[in-house]
């Protein structure tokens, strides 16, 4: 009963934090949630939880990475693969080595393997936090896709690096050659398991569900929810990377979903479900951090490494600031090096080089904000060594990771809006042109389908009234799509056309809300029953969602 009440309480507090964030838009949501958790801990509320590291990793990391991979745009993942891989793999290894040695220099009594583990924990970034901080200013789309791809991929590479660092700390042995071979093996196993499970899911869905003629969206959603956990557990059991398994499963299912264009209800339910689950898991991670923050601070202060004196809070804060700034500098050096190499490569191939402004480089550097995965990785450190001794410096590592998260969030919330205001607004006209071209092609396909359906229907409906009605309806529908093509062919730069679109949408939304109020009024005076009300309101909800999404 205690764990049930605890889970329900955390869900309630998570929802409350989201509502409170609407009244404090300038405070990043993760910081607000950590503060709420710390406040609840200070008030001695019964919200205390001690998850085993393995359990914590299983509950939070696979579904979060799977959701990010499933929702990531495939075209951008392919076209921007070079900068994404450079940041997600190259920068992670550069950070692990550079920050690892720096941490060991700052804390010489902390074992080198643990220093590398902390560096691996700090290497993944959080694109969701960047998006939340940038707010209405918005990061340039191409840069944002790179940051999102980096955040997705570097989670996997960082956690794999952490696995090796923890293994070295546990055993005290490290061989570069053996590690390289093992790295390749666990990567292959993890990716294979993820792709395999995704294709099994797709096959079952196609052969056993789709052919029945119904969507069965609830069953599909429940099976899909199990995929990241199954991929993680199977890959770990086979001594592969469960993280890579969850990521590769998400990417593969994203690709196979392109064939499910007819499943409207399933697609809508999946989008809403994963949006809710991602928010809840992120919120619970930061709330749990806040709840444990007093113990983390106390544990870090009391840490004594190799019989050395314990740390003061001021010393710990100093280490957090130095490590955070070092991470930013390492990121800046890597970006500058990547830009320089790209320029050299363009000269050798005599191809055009896309210049990268200092403003974009600055935003890319300050976007190195740490978040959920860093915290989850820190809390997943083992409690003891194989011999039963406490894991060296575990409380100190968790404190430093927590401090870096808070520092980078605060620094990003101050600097990113300032940098983005000074940047030129990106030219998104190509997106409008792309959408216009797609709508034109879709309208042509719709007209062709209507004409084909009309000729087939004429063969099965012989009465005069049926034939005349078919002709009238098909002519009206074809006229609608031809008018739509004419409207779409106009340039969006036309001021009158923009006003026409906006006013039409606002008037339609006003009318829909009036219709909905009338349906509820009719239900309140018992002129329609609940089933009729739900059916009519659902029709309006779908239309309103379509209009709202077109306004974005």
Indicate the domain borders of the chain.
Answer: 50-261+315-426, 430-489+498-550
- The confidence score (pLDDT) of residue 176 equals 64
Burial 493-527 (b: 16+ CB within 10 A, else e): eeeeeeeebeeeeeeeeeebeeebeebeeebeeee
423: left (phi over 0), alpha (psi -120 to 50) or beta: beta
DSSP code of 379? H
- Asked whether the whole model's pTM tops 0.85, one would answer no
Neighbours of 418 (CB within 10 A): 11
Give CA–CA dist 261/442, Å, rounded.
13
pLDDT of residue 137: 63
Can you give the pLDDT of all 552 residues of the chain as single tens digits? Answer: 567 777 788 888 888 888 888 888 777 787 888 888 888 887 777 776 666 767 777 888 888 888 888 887 777 777 777 888 888 888 888 999 999 999 999 988 888 889 999 999 999 888 767 776 766 566 677 777 888 788 878 877 888 888 888 888 877 666 666 667 777 888 889 899 999 999 888 887 776 665 555 555 677 788 888 999 999 999 989 988 888 899 899 988 888 765 555 566 677 777 788 888 888 888 888 888 788 777 777 777 776 565 555 678 888 899 999 999 999 999 999 888 877 776 666 566 555 445 566 777 888 888 888 887 888 788 888 888 877 788 888 888 888 998 898 899 888 888 888 888 777 665 555 566 666 777 778 888 888 888 888 888 877 776 778 778 888 888 888 887 787 777 665 554 455 656 666 777 788 888 888 888 888 888 888 888 888 888 888 888 878 877 776 655
What gap in Å lies between CA 148 and CA 249, rounded to an integer? 17
Q: What is the pLDDT of residue 432?
A: 64
Contact 450, 477 (CB under 8 A): yes
Going by the DSSP 8-state scheme, the letter that residue 490 receives in this structure is: S
Nearest Cα neighbor of 62 from 277, 231, 240, 303 is: 231
Q: Is the dihedral of CA 354, 358, 360, 364 positive or negative?
A: positive
Q: What is the largest CA-CA distance in the chain?
A: 98
User: What pLDDT does 376 receive?
Assistant: 79
Q: Do 400 and 323 form a contact (C-beta atoms < 8 A)?
A: yes
Nearest CA to 288 among 379, 396, 395? 379
| pLDDT of amino acid 425 | 63
3-state SS, 73-132, equals: CHHHHHHCHHHHHHHHHHHHHHHHHHHHHHHHHHCCCCCHHHHHHHHHHHCCCCHHHHHH
* Dihedral of the alpha carbons of 370, 80, 157, 319, in degrees to the nearest 10: -30
Position 122 scores a pLDDT of 92
Strand partners, 390: 384
pLDDT of residue 530: 80
Residue 33 and residue 284: Cα distance in Å, rounded?
8
Distance CA 253, CA 223 (A): 12
Q: Domain 50-261+315-426 is of which CATH architecture? A: Up-down Bundle (1.20)
| Residue 323 confidence (pLDDT) | 95
Helix and strand element counts for the chain (H, E): 21, 0
Q: What is the b/e burial string over 452-470, where b = at least 16 CB atoms within 10 angstroms of the residue's CB?
A: eebeeeeeeeeeeeeeeeb
Handedness of CA 379, 311, 126, 118 (dihedral sign): negative
Task: Name 384's bridge partners.
Answer: 390
* H-only helix segments in 380-463: 394-422, 429-460
Q: In this structure, how many other beta carbons lie within 10 angstroms of the beta carbon of residue 95?
A: 24
The pLDDT score that the predictor gives to residue 353 is 47
Per-residue pLDDT at 404:
92
Q: Which of 408, 393, 415 is nearest to 320 (CA)?
A: 408
Which among 432, 428, 409, 412 is positioned nearest to 420, based on CA atoms? 412
Other C-beta atoms closer than 10 Å to the C-beta of 381 total 23
Instruction: Report the pLDDT value the prediction gives residue 135, as an integer from 0 to 100.
Output: 61
What would the two tokens of residue 304 be? Answer: 């004594």
What's residue 352's pLDDT? 46
Helix/strand/coil for 255: helix
Rg (the chain; Cα; Å): 27
How many angstroms from the chain centroid is the CA of residue 552? 19
């Amino acid at each position: 009963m205690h764990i049930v009440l605890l889970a329900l309480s955390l869900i309630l507090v998570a929802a409350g934090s989201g509502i409170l964030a609407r009244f404090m838009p300038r405070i990043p949501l993760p910081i607000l949630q950590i503060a709420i958790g710390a406040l609840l801990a200070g008030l001695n509320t019964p919200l205390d939880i001690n998850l085993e590291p393995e359990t914590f990793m299983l509950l939070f990391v696979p579904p979060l990475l799977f959701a990010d991979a499933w929702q990531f745009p495939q075209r951008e993942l392919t076209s921007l693969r070079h900068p994404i891989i450079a940041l997600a793999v190259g920068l992670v290894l550069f950070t692990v080595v550079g920050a690892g040695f720096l941490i060991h220099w700052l804390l010489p009594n902390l074992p080198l393997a643990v220093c590398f583990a902390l560096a691996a924990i700090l290497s993944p970034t959080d694109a969701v936090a960047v998006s939340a901080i940038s707010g209405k200013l918005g990061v340039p789309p191409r840069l944002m896709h790179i940051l999102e791809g980096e955040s997705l991929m570097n989670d996997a590479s960082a956690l794999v690096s952490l696995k090796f660092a923890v293994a070295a700390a546990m055993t005290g042995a490290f061989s570069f050659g053996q590690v390289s071979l093992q790295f390749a093996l666990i990567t292959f196993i993890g990716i294979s398991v993820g792709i395999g499970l995704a294709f099994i899911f797709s096959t079952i869905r196609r052969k056993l569900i789709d052919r029945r003629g119904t969507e069965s969206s609830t069953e599909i959603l429940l099976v899909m929810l199990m995929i990241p956990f199954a991929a993680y557990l199977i890959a770990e059991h086979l001594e592969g990377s469960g993280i890579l398994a969850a990521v590769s499963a998400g990417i593969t299912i994203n690709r196979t979903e392109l064939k499910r264009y007819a499943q409207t209800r399933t697609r809508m339910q999946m989008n809403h479900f994963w949006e809710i689950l991602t928010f809840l898991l992120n919120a619970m991670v930061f709330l749990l951090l806040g709840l444990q923050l007093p113990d983390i601070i106390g544990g870090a202060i009391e840490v004594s490494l190799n019989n050395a004196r314990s740390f003061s809070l001021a010393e710990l804060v100093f280490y957090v600031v130095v490590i955070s700034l070092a991470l930013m500098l390492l990121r800046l050096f890597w970006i500058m090096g990547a830009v320089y190499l790209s320029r050299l490569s363009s000269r050798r191939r005599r191809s055009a080089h896309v210049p990268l402004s200092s403003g974009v480089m600055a935003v890319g550097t300050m976007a190195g904000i740490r978040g959920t995965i860093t915290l989850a990785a820190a809390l997943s450190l083992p409690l003891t060594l194989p011999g039963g001794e406490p894991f060296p410096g575990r409380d100190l590592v968790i404190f430093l990771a927590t401090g870096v998260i808070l520092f980078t969030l605060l620094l990003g919330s101050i600097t990113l809006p300032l940098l983005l205001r000074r940047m030129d607004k990106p030219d998104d006209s190509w997106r409008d042109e792309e959408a216009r071209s797609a709508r034109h092609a879709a309208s042509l396909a719709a007209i062709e389908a209507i004409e084909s359906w009309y000729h087939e229907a004429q063969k099965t409906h012989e009465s005069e009234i049926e034939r005349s009605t078919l002709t009238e309806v098909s002519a009206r529908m074809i006229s609608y799509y031809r008018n739509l093509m004419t409207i779409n062919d106009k340039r969006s730069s036309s001021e009158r056309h923009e006003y026409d679109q906006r006013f039409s949408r606002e008037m339609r939304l006003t009318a829909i809300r009036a219709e909905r109020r009338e349906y509820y009024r009719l239900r309140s005076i018992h002129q329609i029953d609940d089933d009729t009300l739900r059916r009519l309101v659902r029709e309006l909800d779908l239309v309103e969602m379509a209009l709202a999404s077109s306004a974005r």
